[in-house]
């Protein structure tokens, strides 16, 4: 395959599986480049690009956004996907089991998909057709979310913004906050918080020695502090991202801990962005919503999702709560600006997905979701028991579909590779979630039961 001029040509479509194309690299059109490019079914092909005598590739004069250049590598999960695919190419006969990316695997309960199918069919009828929905979501959906999850907590229909998912909402919240805010994040944490902060220009450069971006306050969450940060050591920031139950550690903050967090935010005048995407996985009496804590409405935004409740990872439906009581320093309601973002940068969640959510929140739907969640929780128990029986220190699992396994003194990418190479099981290396994740591996519990059991058999074999 020839390389014309000295442009880097992507072989095959851009996708998670060919993200070697997107590995961080400096490409300038005036230098000869030796690039390793993955070619489907062939392996890695080395392409030497040399500038031909006469032609230079045209470039625009638009400067690359320096914030994009700050990003240290690709987003974590496409990288996991790339390594999984590379492994599958290398061992075409191996039965690779994916417990890496937290992707749901079980079919969506009928009651939910039937509602979506009905809505689809209705769209072909005169009476049932609907065009643009309210950007904040259909009234019924907002009302159902408010009553199901926030009944008695003083959160109302009007505080709910329905979306195509919490990850997308995080980006929109970052657009809302702008570049002049500082943020604190748990360490380790779901990578979208840090990465979107970098993209929006809130951070300094990546520091290779600490594996941290400048200007972000990393709140270390480790076994020694029960995965809740010592707030007395945390600097003041405008925004505090907090995920509970936590991805990746699985830790659910207690009522006491969240009370401390709300107090901390109030004293500092910070806004908490509380990610409650795994709330329905809670087994004990840990709070499901930040709004169970008095005073939280004045300091916290809460984001959530049906991805891990209803298998909606592909269907796409989430929501964000912005209480009317949440105000910027000049008294301007945060909800007003978020509404403006939602009206300008978004056009509503899919009406079909929303129909699905109405079914999710029916009595029967809630029961059905509880069953699916229960299934994944059983998976989680199996994984926890396996690693415990092998003598590992194991965290998470109780209140989340993630198991956080400690490999003290070892590089998490090394452990990831070892597990992948020797058991053909994909996990996620803890350091992918931040330096606080080093020495840990996240095992996700989404999978068919037989795959979970088989993976655990292989773990037992490897680490016996």
Q: Does 385 bind its own copies (CB under 8 A)?
A: no
Q: Does 116 bind its own copies (CB under 8 A)?
A: yes
- At 221, give phi and psi (nearest 5°): -125, 105
Chain position carrying tokens 């805010």: 181
**Nearest to its own copies of 74, 435 (CB atom):** 74
**Nearest to its own copies of 294, 409 (CB atom):** 294
**Nearest to its own copies of 11, 413 (CB atom):** 11
- Residue 417: both structure tokens together: 């590779």
70-89: contacts with its own copies (CB under 8 A): 71, 74-75, 77-78
Among 214, 226, 314, 374, binds its own copies (CB under 8 A): 314
Contact 415, 442 (CB under 8 A): no
Binding segment for its own copies among 269-277, 393-401, 409-417, 425-433 (CB under 8 A)? Answer: 269-277
Contacts of 261 (CB under 8 A, 6+ apart): 231, 240, 242, 253, 272, 293
At CA 31, angle to CA 25 and CA 37, rounded to 5?
45
269: three-class secondary structure by DSSP? coil
431-460: contacts with its own copies (CB under 8 A): 446
**Nearest to its own copies of 272, 394 (CB atom):** 272
- Could you tell me how many residues of this chain bind its own copies (CB under 8 A)? 138
Q: Does 371 bind its own copies (CB under 8 A)?
A: no
317: three-class secondary structure by DSSP? coil
Contact 189, 199 (CB under 8 A): no
**Nearest to its own copies of 268, 411 (CB atom):** 268
34-53: contacts with its own copies (CB under 8 A): none
Of the candidates 313, 290, 239, the one whose C-alpha atom is nearest the C-alpha of residue 269 is: 239
CB of 331 to its own copies, least distance (A): 4
CB of 445 to its own copies, least distance (A): 14
**Nearest to its own copies of 95, 139 (CB atom):** 139
Among 47, 99, 258, 315, binds its own copies (CB under 8 A): 315
The beta strand positions in 9-156, using DSSP E, are 33-39, 43-49, 97-98
Q: Does 464 bind its own copies (CB under 8 A)?
A: no
Q: Does 377 bind its own copies (CB under 8 A)?
A: no
Q: Does 239 bind its own copies (CB under 8 A)?
A: yes
- At 79, give phi and psi (nearest 5°): -70, -40
**Nearest to its own copies of 145, 280 (CB atom):** 145
* Residues 266, 256: Cα–Cα separation, whole Å: 15
Sign of the four-CA dihedral 99, 184, 214, 438: negative
Contact 210, 235 (CB under 8 A): no
Within 10 A of 207 (CB to CB), how many other CB atoms are there? 11
**Nearest to its own copies of 65, 393 (CB atom):** 65
Among 3, 67, 87, 382, binds its own copies (CB under 8 A): 67
434: left (phi over 0), alpha (psi -120 to 50) or beta: left
Among 40, 43, 129, 421, binds its own copies (CB under 8 A): 129
147-206: contacts with its own copies (CB under 8 A): 156-159, 161, 164-165, 167-168, 170-172, 175-181, 191-192, 195-196, 199-201
């Amino acid at each position: 395959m020839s390389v014309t001029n000295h442009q880097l040509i992507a072989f095959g479509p851009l996708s998670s599986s060919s993200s070697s194309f997107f590995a961080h690299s400096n490409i300038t059109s005036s230098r000869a480049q030796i690039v390793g490019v993955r070619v489907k079914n062939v392996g890695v092909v080395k392409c030497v690009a040399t500038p031909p005598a006469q032609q230079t590739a045209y470039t625009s004069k638009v400067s690359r956004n320096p914030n994009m250049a700050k990003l240290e590598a690709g987003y974590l999960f496409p990288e996991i996907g790339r390594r999984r695919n590379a492994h599958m190419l290398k061992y075409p006969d191996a039965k690779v089991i994916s417990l890496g990316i937290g992707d749901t695997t079980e079919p969506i309960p009928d009651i939910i998909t039937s509602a979506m199918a009905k809505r689809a069919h209705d769209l072909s009828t005169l009476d049932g057709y609907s065009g643009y929905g309210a950007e904040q979501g259909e009234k019924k959906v907002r009302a159902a979310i408010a009553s199901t999850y926030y009944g008695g907590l003083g959160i109302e229909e009007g505080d709910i913004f329905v979306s195509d998912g919490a990850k997308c909402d995080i980006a929109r919240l970052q657009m809302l906050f702008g570049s002049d805010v500082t943020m604190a994040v748990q360490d380790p944490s779901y990578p979208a918080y840090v990465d979107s902060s970098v993209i929006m220009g809130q951070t300094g450069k990546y520091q290779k020695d600490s594996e941290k971006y400048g200007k972000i306050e990393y709140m270390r969450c480790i076994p020694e502090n029960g995965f809740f940060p010592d707030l007395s050591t945390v600097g003041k920031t405008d925004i505090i991202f907090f995920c509970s139950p936590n991805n990746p550690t699985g830790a659910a903050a207690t009522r006491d801990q969240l009370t401390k967090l709300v107090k901390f935010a109030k004293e500092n005048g910070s806004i908490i962005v509380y990610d409650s995407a795994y709330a329905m996985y809670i087994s004990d009496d840990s709070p499901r919503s930040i709004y169970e804590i008095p005073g939280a409405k004045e300091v916290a935004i809460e984001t959530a999702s049906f991805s891990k409740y209803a298998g909606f990872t592909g269907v796409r439906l989430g929501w964000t709560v912005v209480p009317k009581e949440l105000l910027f320093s000049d008294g301007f309601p945060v909800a007003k600006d978020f509404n403006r973002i939602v009206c300008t940068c978004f056009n509503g969640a899919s009406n079909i997905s929303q129909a699905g959510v109405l079914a999710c929140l029916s009595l029967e739907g809630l029961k059905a979701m509880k069953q699916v969640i229960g299934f994944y929780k059983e998976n989680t128990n199996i994984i926890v028991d396996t690693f415990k029986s092998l003598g590992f220190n194991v965290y998470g699992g109780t209140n989340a579909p993630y198991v956080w396994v400690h490999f003290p003194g070892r590089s998490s990418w090394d452990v990831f590779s070892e597990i992948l190479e020797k058991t053909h099981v994909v996990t996620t290396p803890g350091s992918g979630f931040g330096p606080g994740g080093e020495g840990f591996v996240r095992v996700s519990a989404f999978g068919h039961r037989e795959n979970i059991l088989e993976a655990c058999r292989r773990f037992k074999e490897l680490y016996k």
